[in-house]
Amino acid sequence: MKIVESTADIRERLKSHRGVSKIALAPTMGCLHEGHLSLIRKAREVADIIIVSIYVNPMQFGPNEDLDAYPHTFNADAAACEAEGVDYLFHPENLYAKGGPKVTLAVSELADCLCGKSRPGHFDGVATVVNILFNIIQPDVAVFGEKDWQQLSIIRRIVSDLHMPIEIAGAPTVRESDGLAMSSRNRYLESDERNVSKELRASLQAICDAYKDGETQASPLIASGRDWLEKHGIKPEYLEIREAANLASIDQLGGADARAFVAAKVGNARLIDNIALEPL
């Protein structure tokens, strides 16, 4: 595995692979865990040359968010990538123009709900950095996790709206044994908080179970999830059911694929999760 820090260098190295091998990119912010490694394994299934990028993107953090506290574990990350057979680890120091970018991507509608409501500008930051990474790497396929479903939906839409010749692959959420979705931010949790954080997933599972038992109206399903969270002392930032593909609001389930989405602050960690509510 080659660790590459400059844009010119990675471009040069990828030249020999273009048109010969299928190139996959898995963008990350580092502090890698099994969820990230699953993206690498997915990339390996569909491509020949695997690039992992590690870049903590300042543009996707709000002024009062955890940019400065965000964990950096580069040596362990590099060892994990090497063990997974990654070909190139792209680790740029900065991806933006001097003085900050003057051209950015703006995401409308899909970014106005769920996490976008409490994180204004977050998805513009994600979209802009992903666009930059796509322009540098020009992958055939890029892999993103379903844990960040809204992000995955937005990236699919960027690729489609901007006619990018890139296939987007989604990878299922990897979880701890008690159901908590793995996240770099889980390390902010104190032990009692870690214990209660599994209830996010449990609340989504309660919704899914009630749906499978025949409840197809969104509001009673959401109410049952809210009750679950309240019972465990969690006040959600949001708990919503939306269409899976376009994140549109939905009242009656059973037609289009839907998903339930939750976000909550547990201690210092802002946690998110989602679950599929597919037609039965």
- Hey, is 4 helix, strand or coil? strand
Q: Would you count residue 29 as binding ligand AMP (CB under 6 A)?
A: yes
Strand pairing of 23-28 and 258-266?
unpaired
Alpha helices, DSSP H, located in 162-254: 191-212, 218-231
Query: Which tokens sit at 91?
Result: 């680790």
What is the smallest separation between the CB atom of 60 and ligand AMP, expressed in angstroms?
9
What is the smallest separation between the CB atom of 143 and ligand AMP, expressed in angstroms?
7
Q: Would you count residue 28 as binding ligand AMP (CB under 6 A)?
A: yes
Q: Would you count residue 204 as binding ligand AMP (CB under 6 A)?
A: no
What is the smallest separation between the CB atom of 149 and ligand AMP, expressed in angstroms?
8
Long-range pairs, 236-242, Cβ under 8 A, ≥24: 236/203, 236/262, 236/263, 236/264, 237/118, 237/263, 237/264, 237/265, 237/270, 238/114, 238/117, 238/118, 238/262, 238/263, 239/203, 240/113, 240/114, 241/207, 241/277, 242/113, 242/114
Q: Which stretch binds ligand AMP (CB under 6 A): 13-21, 177-185, 234-242, 257-265?
A: 177-185
Of 38, 53, 153, 274, the one binding ligand AMP by CB under 6 A: 38
Q: Angle at Cα 90 formed by Cα 176 and Cα 2, nearest 5°?
A: 100
What is the smallest separation between the CB atom of 148 and ligand AMP, expressed in angstroms?
4
Of 148, 199, 240, 273, the one binding ligand AMP by CB under 6 A: 148
Q: Which stretch binds ligand AMP (CB under 6 A): 179-187, 206-214, 218-226, 248-256?
A: 179-187
Of 114, 127, 166, 171, the one binding ligand AMP by CB under 6 A: 171
Residue 36: active-site member: yes
Query: Which tokens sit at 250?
Result: 């939905």
Q: Site mask, ligand AMP, residues 247-276, x = CB under 6 A? A: ------------------------------
Q: Would you count residue 53 as binding ligand AMP (CB under 6 A)?
A: no
User: In this complex, which beta carbon is closest to ligand AMP, that of residue 185 or of residue 242?
Assistant: 185
User: In this complex, which beta carbon is closest to ligand AMP, that of residue 36 or of residue 122?
Assistant: 36
- Hey, is 70 helix, strand or coil? coil
Query: Which tokens sit at 59?
Result: 């543009």
Query: Which tokens sit at 194?
Result: 């870690």
Is residue 28 within 8 A of residue 53, CB to CB? The reply is yes
Q: Would you count residue 145 as binding ligand AMP (CB under 6 A)?
A: yes
Angstrom CA distances, 197 to 34, 140, 236, 265, 269, stand at 18, 37, 11, 9, 10
| Cα–Cα distance for residue pair 77/170, rounded to 1 Å | 21
Q: Which stretch binds ligand AMP (CB under 6 A): 6-14, 36-44, 189-197, 251-259?
A: 36-44
| Cα–Cα distance for residue pair 260/75, rounded to 1 Å | 36
What is the smallest separation between the CB atom of 82 and ligand AMP, expressed in angstroms?
18
**Where does this chain bind ligand AMP (CB under 6 A)?**
28-29, 35-36, 38-39, 144-145, 147-148, 171, 173-174, 181-184
Residues with a catalytic annotation lie at: 36
